[in-house]
Amino acid sequence: MSQSFKTDLLVIGAGPAGYTAAIYAARASLKPILVAGLQPGGQLTITTDVENYPGFAEPVQGPWLVEQMRLQAEHVGTEIHYDLITSCDFSRKTEDGYFRLEADSGAIYLARTVVIATGAQARWLGLPSEARLQSGGVSACATCDGFFYRGKRVAVVGGGNTAVEEALYLTHHADHVTLIHRRDTLRAERILQERLFANPKISVMWNTAVEEVLGSGKPETVCGLSLRNTVDGSLDTLAVDGVFIAIGHTPNTGPFRGQIACDEEGYILTTPGSTRCSVEGVYAAGDVQDKKFRQAITAAGTGCMAALEAEHFLAGLPASVP
């Protein structure tokens, strides 16, 4: 028979947003349950040196940082379940006022409030060499990693707003940025394109696709790219010290589609200045609702907001039934 768990606050996701929500909720004596999902730690698990999270004079490793968050959440009373929420019904509640959610294990979770902090995944090119070098010069976040490429040459892959914004940002650190796009026109907004073309530190390679990320040394780090012309099929190489993949992100909102309001890309819509979703008692924090900043510190901030808003909402309800 399936197990059933009942809680005032269910946190879904184990990244900075989820752990922060759980920490605040536990300290408010809400006895939260956190369901960790497929990738506990989120994007921090594939991040090496973290220099922009406040509180550390020296760089820290992403996996270590998120492990400290987990330990802190447990220390203050969070109950962590290593499972995956697969379905939910936010359209109705049980007679005593609980949402019902189901997990991959078959477990049933009954929660008076829910914080969705399932994050978003960067879209990758799907190359084995790209995956192999994700800790050696392949990145999906210029704001996170651009600082490490001071005085170096880097490439950005993509043709939309994100790619152009990443390329422009990287010019503050790198000596030269090459934007690689598989078509002959960009999808980015016109004003961004004008800034791109006016920047002397940026060059564009049109009709070009990345065939392979080249690495060298021990430990292996990016040294270049193998490129293919999408028009005539000719091959070329480009020497770079790092490559930023900027072809978009996919929010992890599968189980919640059709249950709460999302935008056309699948990001959860929240009330401006709040983490409230379209369903009362449901909140969203972190990259699952933020497609602009996508930083660990902003995710943690919205996790805090979600827990505080959930606590305030619960305070207006009758006491829960054990």
Query: What are the catalytic residues?
Result: 141, 144-145
Q: Confirm if 249 and 141 have CB atoms less than 8 A apart.
A: no
Count other C-beta atoms under 10 Å from residue 258's C-beta. Answer: 9
Distance from C-alpha of 188 to C-alpha of 167, rounded to nearest angstrom: 12
Which pair of tokens denotes residue 111?
């929660």
- Distance linking the first and last C-alpha atoms of the chain: 20
In terms of DSSP bridges, do strands 138-139 and 242-245 run parallel, antiparallel, or are they unpaired?
parallel
Name the CA dihedral angle for 230, 232, 235, 239, rounded to a multiple of 10 degrees. Answer: -60
Residue 272's Cβ-count burial label (10 Å; 0-12, 13-18, 19+) is exposed
Strands (E), the chain: 4-12, 33-35, 49-50, 60-61, 79-81, 85-89, 99-103, 108-116, 120-122, 138-139, 153-157, 176-180, 202-205, 208-216, 221-229, 235-239, 242-245, 249-251, 282-284
Which pair of tokens denotes residue 126?
């799907």
Tell me which amino acid residue 126 is.
Answer: G
Task: Render the burial of 47-69: b for 16+ CB within 10 Å, e for the rest.
Answer: beebeebeeeeeebebeebbeeb
Count other C-beta atoms under 10 Å from residue 151's C-beta. Answer: 8
Q: Distance of alpha carbon 69 from its chain centroid, rounded? A: 16
Distance from C-alpha of 9 to C-alpha of 285, rounded to nearest angstrom: 14
